[in-house]
Structure 1
Amino acid sequence: TGRIACLQIRLSPPLAVAVLGTSADLTGTVVSLEDVWGRDAERTEDRLRAAGTWDERFAIAADALGRRLDVRRSPDPEVAAVWELILTGRGRVGVDSLANEVGWSRKRLWSRFRSQIGLAPKHAARLVRFDHAAHLLAAGRPAAEVAALSGYADQAHLHREVKTFTGATPTAVAAAPWLAIDDLAWPTP
């Protein structure tokens, strides 16, 4: 019933690994920031609540993330390169071609990507493709056109993926307020 303000920060999977640590143990879970960062999270949240402007809040968040950034925890260069290839291809890339691109076997790619990013490469590609499709839906494009532009076999395939990721229909996703916040979740380089 009251007014709620929220600061949302989206991190690419490689950056999340460097800021939060190994993501495999967080996959499919919702945890508090305190569970990940300990007492530093509580201090950061207190500073955010006390901030008087959004500029202050963004500066506090950037400072907190910067302090937690640990390049030693960054994923292997090959894993980061595969993530970039997934983004560039908007999720429409095969795992075999990704493995070939970095000179790894499919099994090694799956294992390293999963352990360092927290998702299998195919699942990561599905999420990126879904993000692209969801933003096209939010832009008012018809579902059949979105399915074709996003690489789905047909509109029914798009519908199943949207339902899998959100529990909603493509029409409901198109009207979702979280899509109005940004143009896309993971901007390509």
Structure 2
Amino acid sequence: MAGFRIRGDSPVVLRAIPHPAVTVAVEFGDRPFDIHGAGGRMRSESLAAGLAFGAFQVRAEGVECVQIRLSPLVAHPVLGLPLAELRGNVVALDDLWGRDTARLRERLHHARTWRERFALIDTELSTRLPAGRPVDPEVAWAWRRIVAGHGRVRVTDLAARTGWSRQRMWSRFGSQLGLTPKRAAMLVRFDQAIHRLARGHTPARVAADCGYADQSHLHHDVRAFTGTPPTAAVNEPWLAADDTAWPVHGGAV
């Protein structure tokens, strides 16, 4: 979870790039986001982006916001929507939580500190978590293995370890997490690679360490996920909710 502000009277245009988590953002300063992605344009004070979303553009002015990264293993009960339905889309959180979103935004607005706001978000998520249906244990195990292996896993090996067929693993994983095991592994590997590149590691070293066939393969994956070459992608501010998430425009907490 991260809190940030984008100050100033002129709009700031940022791009959100894919991350191996479901991304939720709640704005509480009465300055809605203008979002432009593969699904078209939308304007909203809150958003939820599926696990497999493509890079999308966010135009904001004077925004105060909390960003949450949800594990796909808990995103369904929290959002109230199967990830197979959300897939790679970006939707307004109001469409999922209804009036509860406006009430949460108001409480965040009146909170005095980021600590209070994070506590409000924790309470909201904890309240929603028990209400939904968890993913199959086999799917949860496969996702954790993909993450632990930094995307360098074989789907057939995952299926064999669970006792499922490859087809069953593919079907259940896709229906519950919103993308195939192969795509999940590609996303996790990309996430590790782009952060390594952002920290200044050479493309040759990153390609070798992250399991890419060569630098061209790495270049291809980065462009596929971000729409830009690695030299541009490494400067994207919305890489993750960490100390380098908003190096210029925001105040990450």
TM-score by length of 2: 0.69
Indicate the larger mover: 70-79 or 145-154.
70-79
1:148 aligns with 2:208: yes
Higher helix share: 1
- Letter paired with 2:182: K
Partner Cα separation in structure 2 for residue 3 and residue 142 of structure 1? 36
Match of 1:122 in 2: 182
Q: CA deviation at 1:19?
A: 1.2
Q: What is the aligned-residue identity percentage? A: 55
Indicate the larger mover: 144-153 or 16-25.
16-25
Higher relative contact order (CA 8 A, sep 6+): 2
- Letter paired with 1:85: R
Match of 1:3 in 2: 62
Match of 1:57 in 2: 117
Change (3 A) 1:52 1:183: closer
Q: CA deviation at 1:49?
A: 2.0
Match of 1:99 in 2: 159
Partner Cα separation in structure 2 for residue 99 and residue 93 of structure 1? 11
Partner Cα separation in structure 1 for residue 197 and residue 103 of structure 2? 39
Match of 2:74 in 1: 15
Match of 2:198 in 1: 138
Partner Cα separation in structure 2 for residue 156 and residue 19 of structure 1? 39
1:48 aligns with 2:141: no
Q: CA deviation at 1:71?
A: 6.2
Higher strand share: 2
Match of 2:229 in 1: 169
Deviations 1:70-114 (A, max 9, x none): 265110111000001001110010110111111100000011011
Q: Which segments of 5 or more consecutive residues in structure 1 lack a partner in the other structure?
A: 185-189
